[in-house]
Amino acid sequence: MLDAFSRAVVSADASTSVVGDINALKAFVASGNRRLDAVNAIASNASCMVSDAVAGMICENQGLIQAGGNCYPNRRMAACLRDAEIVLRYVTYALLAGDASVLDDRCLNGLKETYAALGVPTTSTIRAVQIMKAQAVAHINDTNTEANAGKKFVQMGSAKGDCSALTSEAASYFDRVISALS
């Protein structure tokens, strides 16, 4: 598993050069508190995000919870909720580390093949991941709305700043999950 720092060392070592891109690491350090806020925004809302994403996925495709569907019976429903939580957890690890390797190596490696073998439908999994991506972007930027969240509406209330780079980085980890399963 690599983070932004060990990645810089490994890349430099691979080309037998001194560590090159110090500016990128400076930016990583400078945005450190912002990054922690972003990770906290996802981690604090994780169980709500997972249940909402899986509920939304099922709402759009109710065959999933009928006989023959991959969220039926409850054993599979539980496995599905667990998997969505695993994916979200590894996305937060990658966001904290500023590097996708932990997500790639410990979560995504072989997942497509596992799902194919078990008959877990790819399009539905991707739909749940897309919903979690939208939620994560909203929570990082505190742009979630009462209209969408209902009684569970919570905002982080972090200091407002430019989170565009962190937002697109977080989004890229969800996209990575989607392309690994596609």
Ligand X SMILES: CCC1=C(C)/C(=C/C2=NC(=C\c3[nH]c(/C=C4\NC(=O)[C@H](C)[C@H]4CC)c(C)c3CCC(=O)O)/C(CCC(=O)O)=C2C)NC1=O
Residue ranges in contact with ligand X by CB under 6 A: 54, 64, 70-71, 76, 79-80, 83-84, 86, 106-107, 111, 114, 118, 120-121, 124-125, 128
Minimum Å distance from CB 158 to ligand X? 29
Between 125 and 144, CB nearer to ligand X: 125
Q: Are 81 and 46 in contact (CB under 8 A)?
A: no
Angstrom CA distances, 138 to 85, 132, 178, stand at 18, 10, 19
Minimum Å distance from CB 124 to ligand X? 4
Minimum Å distance from CB 22 to ligand X? 34
Measured in whole angstroms, the distance separating CA 154 from the mean position of its chain's CA atoms is 19
Show the 3-state SS of 27-61: HHHHCHHHHHHHHHHHHHCHHHHHHHHHHHHHHHC
Q: Using CA atoms of 11, 167, 32, 19 in order, give the dihedral in degrees to the nearest 10.
A: 10
Between 40 and 121, CB nearer to ligand X: 121
Minimum Å distance from CB 107 to ligand X? 5
Between 38 and 84, CB nearer to ligand X: 84
Between 62 and 143, CB nearer to ligand X: 62
Q: Are 57 and 132 in contact (CB under 8 A)?
A: no
Between 34 and 112, CB nearer to ligand X: 112
Minimum Å distance from CB 56 to ligand X? 11
Nearest CA to 145 out of 136, 155, 132, 137 is that of 155
Q: Are 132 and 53 in contact (CB under 8 A)?
A: yes
